[in-house]
Amino acid sequence: MVQKILSKVVGAKYISILRTWVPNMVAWGTVGGVALVHFTDWRVILDYVPYIKGKFSDDE
């Protein structure tokens, strides 16, 4: 259904180009996310992950 709507707006040529770029965009998005966590205060971001949050509990 989405492909039919998209093909009416964009065209089959651009849909095939987009399909080849999706894995590349996913890979760079993952690299960007890991870089964001690495270069920022990683504990603030990882506090939202339920499994990891318990490892850093403060007893203050």
Task: For residue 1, tell me if it sits in a domain.
Answer: no
Better-scored residue on pLDDT, 10 or 54: 10
Task: For residue 44, tell me if it sits in a domain.
Answer: yes
The half-sphere exposure of 16 on its side-chain side, counting CA atoms within 13 A, is 3
Task: For residue 12, tell me if it sits in a domain.
Answer: no
Task: For residue 31, tell me if it sits in a domain.
Answer: yes
User: Is the CA virtual torsion 24, 25, 30, 34 positive or negative?
Assistant: positive
> Looking at the 3D structure of the chain, how many domains does it have?
1
Task: For residue 8, tell me if it sits in a domain.
Answer: no
Task: For residue 10, tell me if it sits in a domain.
Answer: no
Residue ranges making up the domain that contains 35 = 24-60
Task: For residue 47, tell me if it sits in a domain.
Answer: yes
Task: For residue 7, tell me if it sits in a domain.
Answer: no
Q: Which residues contact 53 (CB under 8 A, 6 or more apart)?
A: 46, 47
Among 16, 27, 35, 60, which Cα is nearest to 6's?
16
Read off the pLDDT of residues 3-47 as tens digits, 9 standing for 90 and up.
Answer: 788 778 888 888 888 889 999 999 999 999 989 888 887 777 777
